[in-house]
């Protein structure tokens, strides 16, 4: 077990490089088994979720090699269609493997996925979509069994714009016979990145990033060399960190368009934000007007993955803020820990009512999930006094070198092994 020891209260200055997007790389890894030719992914972050997905590919018979931050995947000898439960339970994105494995082998067996404990996280839309593509599905003993003689195109309407279900259906449909339409598809930028990756492999996908995705099935997919999009959630995390601590930082390899909702909110509370190509600069004097209302929405609305960090920001903003979490049922695990740091928050159902305090005070807090852990780390960096953050394995799932980047910006933070 590791913990952060953080001495808070210092402004942030400097620049950081934003990593490739965790939620783009994971579906690309699932897509890599759709071909028996070589797949090369540059700037691949060595975060726990990626390493777990690589382990899953290894179980299926893929050979994977890292050359610095370039990952080479060879699926020519892949032959196993079963994903062991201890691996599947490690992360949510194991569920994406259903579509790609059944497309490659005509069958797949996987335990129910894991991932952050932020809600029920059903997979009904994944399974309903795959059934529409002629996949036969049975569920027993905590396993999902898929089999399919021939994937066939279908006209699918998602009850809700699920990111994972959209990606899973695309991953199966690219090898299906005929045309597949996904209506009410998720519009997150990571879907467009998956489309670009697949089309480089010879797929015919259009509409990624819009509410209707069209896939023309093809017989074969070839190898690909690709650099994924940058991580909009990591970028938003650092922007919010600067708003909380004050100072002036620059983000390199960042795409402002993908976090327009976050930038808009931070400008509303007097942060000075400028954008130049793939750089975002933020200057914050430390005064923070009330955020008033934050409602998480599917893209392009305010991202649920930045709800915890922005709730931490609301704790030290003037006046009151209402934070409504519309996507997940229990995504407020960070609230009791923020209260331990002196925050004034009341939660009723999916709404958190935050009354701003001048500053938080250092405390010993525990990360409950990936983005909540990041939020607590930012809170500790802004707080007066000493804090510790434990259960860092949550943070290590999605942030590469989080403490090194914060330290390079002036935060007094170190990781100790306990
Ligand atoms: C993806 O999760 C991301 N994970 C999540 O990021 C992100 O919070 C989420 O999309 C929303 O943007 C990855 O990409 C690996 P959903 P996913 O399916 O696909 C309901 C992070 O911190 N739903 O879009 O699991 C579901 O209950 C993680 O990086 C169904 O009802 O999210 C939720 O209310 C956390 N049935 C809503 O859809 C289904 O079959 C959105 O979930 C699937 C989902």
Can you spell out the DSSP letters for 105-171? Answer: HSEEEEEPP----SS----HHHHHHHHHTT-EEEEETTEEEEE-SS-B--EEE-SS--HHHHHHHHH
Q: Which member of 44, 116, 146, 148 is catalytic?
A: 116
* pTM as predicted: 0.97
Q: List domains and CATH numbers for the chain.
A: 2-19+231-417 (3.65.10.10), 22-216 (3.65.10.10)
**Cα separation, 186 vs 166, whole angstroms:** 6
Contact, 175 vs 6, CB < 8 A?
Answer: no
pLDDT tens track for 285-319: 867 899 999 999 999 999 999 999 999 999 999 99
Would residue 245 show up in a list of annotated catalytic residues for this protein? no
Most ligand 1 atoms within 8 A of CB, residue of 170, 327, 371 to mutate: 327
Q: Which residue has the tokens 């490690």?
A: 90
148-159 per-position pLDDT tens digit: 999 999 999 999
CA 122–ligand 1 middle distance (angstroms)? 9
Q: What is the DSSP-derived secondary structure letter of residue 94?
A: G
Tokens of residue 403, six digits: 């403490």
Query: Is 114's pLDDT higher than 80?
Result: no
Binned at pLDDT 50, 70 and 90, residue 79 comes out as very high
pLDDT class for 111, splitting at 50, 70, 90?
confident
Which residue's CA is the nearest one to ligand 1's atom 27? 121
How high is the pLDDT of residue 93?
A: 72
- What is the Cα–Cα distance from 235 to 407, expressed in whole angstroms? 16
| 163, 231, 303: residue to mutate for ligand 1 pocket, most atoms within 8 A of CB | 163
């Amino acid at each position: 077990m590791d913990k952060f020891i953080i001495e808070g209260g210092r402004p942030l200055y400097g620049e950081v490089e934003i990593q490739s997007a965790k939620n783009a790389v994971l579906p690309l890894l699932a897509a890599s088994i759709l071909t028996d030719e070589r797949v090369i992914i540059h700037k691949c972050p060595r975060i726990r979720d990626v390493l777990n997905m690589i382990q899953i590919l290894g179980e299926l018979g893929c050979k994977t090699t890292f050359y610095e931050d370039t990952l080479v995947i060879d699926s020519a000898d892949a032959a196993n269609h079963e994903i062991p439960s201890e691996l599947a339970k490690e992360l949510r994105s194991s569920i994406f493997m259903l579509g790609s494995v059944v497309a490659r082998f005509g069958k797949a067996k996987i335990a129910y996925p894991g991932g952050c404990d932020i809600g029920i996280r059903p997979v009904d839309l994944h399974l309903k979509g795959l059934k529409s593509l002629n996949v036969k599905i049975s569920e027993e003993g905590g396993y999902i069994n898929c089999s399919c003689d021939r994937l066939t195109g279908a006209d699918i309407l998602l009850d809700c714009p699920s990111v994972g279900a959209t990606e899973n259906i695309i991953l199966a449909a690219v090898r299906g016979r005929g045309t597949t339409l996904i209506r009410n598809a998720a519009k997150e930028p990571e879907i467009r990145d998956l489309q670009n990756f697949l089309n480089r492999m010879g797929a015919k996908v259009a509409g990624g990033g819009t509410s209707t995705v069209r896939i023309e099935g093809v017989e074969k997919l070839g190898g690909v060399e690709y650099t994924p999009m940058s991580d909009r959630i990591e970028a938003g995390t650092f922007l919010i960190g600067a708003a909380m601590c004050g100072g002036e930082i620059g983000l390199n390899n960042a795409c402002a368009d993908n976090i327009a909702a976050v930038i808009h909110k931070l400008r509303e509370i007097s942060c000075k934000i400028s954008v130049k190509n793939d750089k975002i600069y933020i200057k914050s004097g430390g005064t923070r007007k009330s955020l008033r209302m934050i409602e998480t929405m599917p893209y392009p609305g305010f991202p649920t993955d930045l709800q915890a960090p922005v709730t931490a920001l609301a704790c030290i903003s003037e006046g009151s803020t209402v934070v409504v979490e519309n996507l997940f049922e229990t995504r407020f695990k960070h609230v009791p820990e923020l209260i331990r740091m002196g925050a004034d928050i009341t939660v009723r159902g999916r709404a958190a009512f935050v009354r701003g305090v001048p500053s938080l005070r250092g405390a010993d807090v525990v990360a409950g999930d990936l983005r909540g852990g990041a939020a607590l780390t930012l809170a500790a960096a802004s707080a007066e006094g000493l804090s510790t953050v434990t259960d860092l394995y949550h943070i290590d799932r999605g942030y590469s070198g989080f403490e090194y980047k914060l330290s390079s910006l002036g935060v007094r933070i170190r990781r100790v092994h306990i």
